[in-house]
Amino acid sequence: MFLDQARIELKAGDGGCGCMAFRREKFVPRGGPSGGDGGRGGHVYMESTLRHNTLIQFRYNRIFQGKRGQHGLGSKCHGKDADDRLIQVPVGTVVYDDESGELVHDFTTPNERILLCQGGRGGRGNAQFATSVNRAPRRFEYGFAGEERNLRLELKLLADVGLVGFPNVGKSTLISRISSARPKIGDYPFTTLEPNLGVVELEDFKSYVVADMPGLIQGAHLGHGLGLQFLRHIERTKVLVHLVDLSDLPGRDPVEDFETVNRELNEFNPAILAKPTLLVGSKLDAMDDVTRLKKLQSLALEHGLEFHAISAATGAGIQDLKYKIAGMLPAETGMDMAEGEAGDRPADEGRG
């Protein structure tokens, strides 16, 4: 199951109580107060990791508490500080304060660690209150409470390229042809119910990551179809690949399909449309009316977009498309497949 939103409650550990004790030894007259201080409560940290790529671990376990510090002891023994609590989240997780909506942190790289809740300070024992006029104090402090906060987590997958378009235009078939990803493919709308990731390999051990988004329909911003719930995953992408169906489906026009999807993207976040976009005409093998292709080429020219036509079924234009996308990416994009993960995976599978 793919889970990309969660709410959690955090509570750092309380501090241990100070101790009230007096030193009583045979050859030490007037031993005086000897109560030690309490230990600090456990902090709560959050760390990004590559071991997870969904937030499903927070579906049932939503409350995270730090341990309490140990109480102070006699003979001025300090209570032990509690162990800290570490919560791991996937890279790409954005953390918000659930009450104020303020951004707490955006985990964009592995092994980032931040302190979210500070453990309570331990209370002072009565040895701390001894003075020249009060040599036998019977006063001590209780441990201080640890910090609490409620957080909202959103996962935005880290991909270089995002595939968008109407349902059943061939996005899943395309990602299966250019990478080793094996998403569900069917001849009916909304086959893709969750994002899928695929790594496209090029020569010289270069690669880039492609994200296949569930299809959009008119009114998606109002919740029609699958709505816009997965579009946050393309906000981080560097390039958009907009697929439009060229096959002769009755009642469908490629230009109208393109404009409809763009309107829905604009309703979600206008900044998405500012990304470099490659307009791709798909299902070239099923096209009988060549005017559909010409209309889409004219549309790309009108909007200043790159255009490419493919057939994922026959493989026509697939290899050129891989390199055309790579040419639109920033120069620093890509990873060494010998050091990274060479396999592609759907986004709902964990990384070992």
CA–CA gap between residue 248 and residue 250 (Å, rounded) = 6
Taking each helix axis from N to C end, the angle separating 318-328 and 171-178, rounded to the nearest 10 degrees, works out to: 90
* pLDDT class of 177 with cuts at 50, 70, 90: confident
- In a shared domain, residues 272 and 132: no
Asked if residue 351 belongs to a domain, the reply is no
Token pair belonging to 202: 């090029």
- At which residue do the structure tokens 């977009």 appear? 305
Q: Of the candidates 125, 155, 185, which is a domain's last residue?
A: 155
For 81-96, the pLDDT digits (tens) are 999 999 999 998 999 9
pLDDT at 324 over 60: yes
Provide the total of helices (H) and of strands (E) in the chain, helices listed first: 4, 15
Q: What residues make up the domain containing 281?
A: 161-346
Output the average pLDDT for the chain: 83
Which token pair is 304?
Answer: 């200043």
Last-in-domain residue among 132, 155, 178: 155
One-letter amino acid identity for 282? Answer: S
Regarding pTM above 0.75, the answer is no
Residues 174 and 266 in one domain: yes
Asked if 124 and 254 sit in the same domain, the reply is no
pLDDT at position 172: 82
* C-alpha pair distances (Å), 89 with each of 53, 94, 99, 209: 8, 10, 20, 20
Which residues lie below 8 Å from residue 152, measured CB to CB, with a gap of 6+?
Answer: 5, 6, 7, 95, 96, 97, 98
Q: Could you tell me if 104 and 236 lie in one domain?
A: no
pLDDT higher for 316 or 183? 316
User: For residue 166, what pLDDT is reported?
Assistant: 84
- Alpha-carbon dihedral 294, 297, 301, 307, rounded to 10 degrees: -170
The model's pLDDT over 238-277, given as tens digits with 9 standing for 90+, comes to 899 999 988 877 777 888 888 988 888 888 888 888 899 9
Whether 165 and 126 share a structural domain: no
Mark whether 244 and 110 lie in a shared domain.
no
Same domain as 239, residue 334: yes
**How distant, in Å, are the alpha carbons of 32, 63, 104, 255 from that of 57?**
52, 12, 20, 42
**Is residue 203 domain-resident?**
yes
pLDDT per position as a tens digit, 101-145: 999 999 989 999 999 999 999 999 999 999 989 988 999 999 999
177 and 302 assigned to the same domain:
yes
304 within domain boundaries: yes
Instruction: Report helix, strand or coil for 56.
Output: helix
Whether residues 11 and 137 fall in one domain: yes
End-of-domain residue from the set 108, 131, 155:
155
Is there a domain that residue 131 lies in? yes
User: Residue 107 in 3-state DSSP?
Assistant: coil
* Number of compact structural domains in the chain: 2
Q: Is residue 101 part of a domain?
A: yes
Residue 81 sits in the same domain as residue 202: no
